[in-house]
Structure 1
Amino acid sequence: MVWTLPEPMLAEPVNNPALPPGWAAEPKWDGYRALLARYADGRVIIRSRRGTDMTAAFPEITRAAASLPAGVEFAMDGELVVWEEGRVAFERLQGRLNRTAATAARMAAQWPAHYVAFDLLRLNGTDSDLTAKPYAARRAALEQLFADHALPPPWTLCPSTTDPAAAAEWLDWSAVGMEGLVLKNLRGAYRPATRAWRKYRVAHTTDAVIGAVSRSLADPATALLGRYDQAGRLRYAGRSTVLSRPLAAALRAQLSPAGEEHPWTGRTFSASWGTKAALTVALVVPEAVVEVRADVSRDGAGRWRHPVKVVRLRDDLAPADVPLFGDDTAAG
């Protein structure tokens, strides 16, 4: 029987990390979301949240899945992470995509990734599709799969708890690269492309789309950030602080100059708050997503009142994954 991976289930941002009765908590990992399919014939597919095929980018994970006993068939949801010096190093993942197979193999040897499995969507047997089953049943099946095959690294079973005290302790793991908590209803089915889980971030960060850069595309100084509104229009949300050299270099490789169809064509941006001096900007194709650290202060138009700090490029996200313009609930 031929089957394909579903769209990933999503989480709604919340500002309260409290674990409600009847829910489970898992650590929120700082990595790449990835769905993994292992077919009975040994074929393996690793797909990103955006649907990108990442199989060749993570040869160490592909080999580990392919080497399981013949006939083993499953689909998992999880996170690809790299550990370095006792912490999760997101930056070691960023060079994996859009590289040759040889480069991906070298990076895998230098910074091997782990697959942190937190959900089981299919399992070989008469009742192979588990998505309609409650989270508690899927979790039990996932734990049994790890036990049956004594799965070693790069496999990692994501912790899960129904104890509010244990969940609260996980919030202290931010020093090793944990972002917060994901909360899941024990009775909830796996609902593709639906925000039925909840996520709480310890760090006060959120995401935005780069619509332009100041100075020039060859030498960007700051990023001009946007978000789409309910009508699908790219709205200016604010400007970043001065970009670090590594970030500026990463953006130069990712950004493309925009044509006259850019929604900000003809718009003038102020060089600073309270001045009429115009800022020199280069409009770019609005497809690169960055994570920013921002306060929730907004001006009357819904923009960030203060410059925000770009934390990192999120090449695993698409503009559709960014919160809508003026949405303060996404931060935190």
Structure 2
Amino acid sequence: MHLSPPVEPMLARSVIAIPASVRRPTVYEQKADGFRCLVFARPEPFLQSRRGANLTQSFPELARVASALGVEAVLDSELVVWGTQGLDFLALQNRARRRGAGAERAARERPAHLIVFDVLELAGDVLMDEPLRHRRAALERLFAARRLAAPWALCPQTTDLATAQAWMDPVWGAAGIEGVMIKDADSRYRPGERGWLKLRTRTTDEGIIGAVTGTAHAPTSLLLGRLDVADRLKLVARTTPLPRKAAAELGAVLHAAGPEHPWWGWRISAGWGSKEPMVFQPVIPELVAEVDTDAAVDLGRHRHPVRYLRLRADLTPAEIPLFGEHA
């Protein structure tokens, strides 16, 4: 029996902390910042995205190593591209758009890797009903028997809570490890179900309040910036909707800005990957906000909305790190 694409991957639901107590045997895995990829390692290989799209032509070097694995298998993995300081999500996105000669050139210049964390089929045996600990053992045997090395990588896994907590350090986040996956070692692979848990690394950051949605006196969310080396205000983040109390407090101190504002007339998308413009009101960039963030930062900008925590009356815009720098 063989699995055929598309196969729905098993999913995870977000949690805000590692569960304090568990009744089932638990394993923890690093969560890398990349694309979910199911690898059909066969003479005619296929690389499938989380939503079932064909990634094979965009990553020809991975298709070749999947074809040459030496045993037919279906592997669940995170597809990543390494940068100079860690995983590079923007480079990965750029590679996913390439085809043909452009994809081959990109494969030479910015090769991709597969961080494998599960095996669904191996040598004709479908393993999805096997407990995770058995699937992991099979995966480790595969890596050892085939002496797999780059672009293959075996996802780090541990049963030690202290090790998992150490992976939540922002230092790991800066390198592209978004957080930790939490899994029942006895669980079977359930396509499409959110049977795993994921915990993203969280940290705090500061930004200059440069604009709001809503109005200056009744803001609904904030657009945050930082100054660059030329003293230009660069957009770095947008917040989730403001709680009522925070909106009232901010509305009492924010002041609308006019055409002199550096973002006046800008077109900003309403969301990640959206072409719809956001309607916003520039405000005088004189106040600093502290926000709760995750580790997904691309070229100095937070990929996901951040959560407003408080005003930092003790800081001026000139005192926070420049655009692209960490606190």
Counterpart among 136, 139, 148 of residue 139 in structure 1: 136
- Work out the CA distance in 2 between the residues paired with 1:242 and 1:20: 40
1:198 corresponds to 2:197: yes
Does structure 2 retain, via aligned residues, the 8 Å contact 1:238–1:307?
A: no
Does structure 1 retain, via aligned residues, the 8 Å contact 2:203–2:292?
A: no
Equivalent in the alignment of 1:296: none
Equivalent in the alignment of 2:83: 84
Quote how far apart the aligned CAs of 1:99 are.
2.0
Equivalent in the alignment of 2:108: 109
Quote how far apart the aligned CAs of 1:167 are.
1.2
What TM-score, normalized to structure 1? 0.63
1:165 corresponds to 2:162: yes
- Work out the CA distance in 2 between the residues paired with 1:243 and 1:49: 34
1:1-332 equivalences in 2 (<5 Å) = 3-5=3-5, 6-18=7-19, 20-21=21-22, 22-39=25-42, 42-69=43-70, 72-125=71-124, 128-172=125-169, 173-203=172-202, 238=221, 240-241=223-224, 288=273, 311-312=297-298
For residue 95 of structure 2, give the secondary structure of its aligned residue in structure 1.
coil
- Work out the CA distance in 1 between the residues paired with 2:269 and 2:90: 24
Does structure 2 retain, via aligned residues, the 8 Å contact 1:241–1:307?
A: no
- Work out the CA distance in 2 between the residues paired with 1:52 and 1:117: 19
For residue 120 of structure 2, give the secondary structure of its aligned residue in structure 1.
strand
CA 110–161 in structure 1, closer or farther in 2 if over 3 Å, else same? same
- Work out the CA distance in 2 between the residues paired with 1:308 and 1:168: 18
Does structure 2 retain, via aligned residues, the 8 Å contact 1:19–1:183?
A: no
Instruction: List per-residue Cα deviations over 1:56-113 (Å, max 9, x = no partner).
Output: 11111111111222xx111111101122235122222110122232111111111111
Equivalent in the alignment of 2:282: none
Query: Partner letter of residue 159 of structure 1?
Result: P
- Work out the CA distance in 1 between the residues paired with 2:91 and 2:274: 18
CA 284–161 in structure 1, closer or farther in 2 if over 3 Å, else same? closer
What TM-score, normalized to structure 2? 0.64
Provide structure 2 residue ranges, at least 5 long, that are not aligned to the other structure. Answer: 205-209, 215-219, 229-233, 235-250, 259-263, 276-288, 308-327
Quote how far apart the aligned CAs of 1:24 are.
0.4
Does structure 2 retain, via aligned residues, the 8 Å contact 1:34–1:46?
A: yes
- Work out the CA distance in 1 between the residues paired with 2:158 and 2:27: 5
Provide structure 1 residue ranges, at least 5 long, that are not aligned to the other structure. Answer: 206-220, 226-236, 249-269, 291-304, 327-332
Quote how far apart the aligned CAs of 1:244 are.
10
- Work out the CA distance in 1 between the residues paired with 2:164 and 2:86: 19
- Work out the CA distance in 2 between the residues paired with 1:44 and 1:119: 17
Query: Partner letter of residue 180 of structure 1?
Result: G
CA 14–194 in structure 1, closer or farther in 2 if over 3 Å, else same? same
Equivalent in the alignment of 1:252: none
- Work out the CA distance in 1 between the residues paired with 2:26 and 2:2: 33
- Identity among equivalent pairs (%): 37
What RMSD over aligned residues (CA atoms) do the two structures have, in Å? 3.9
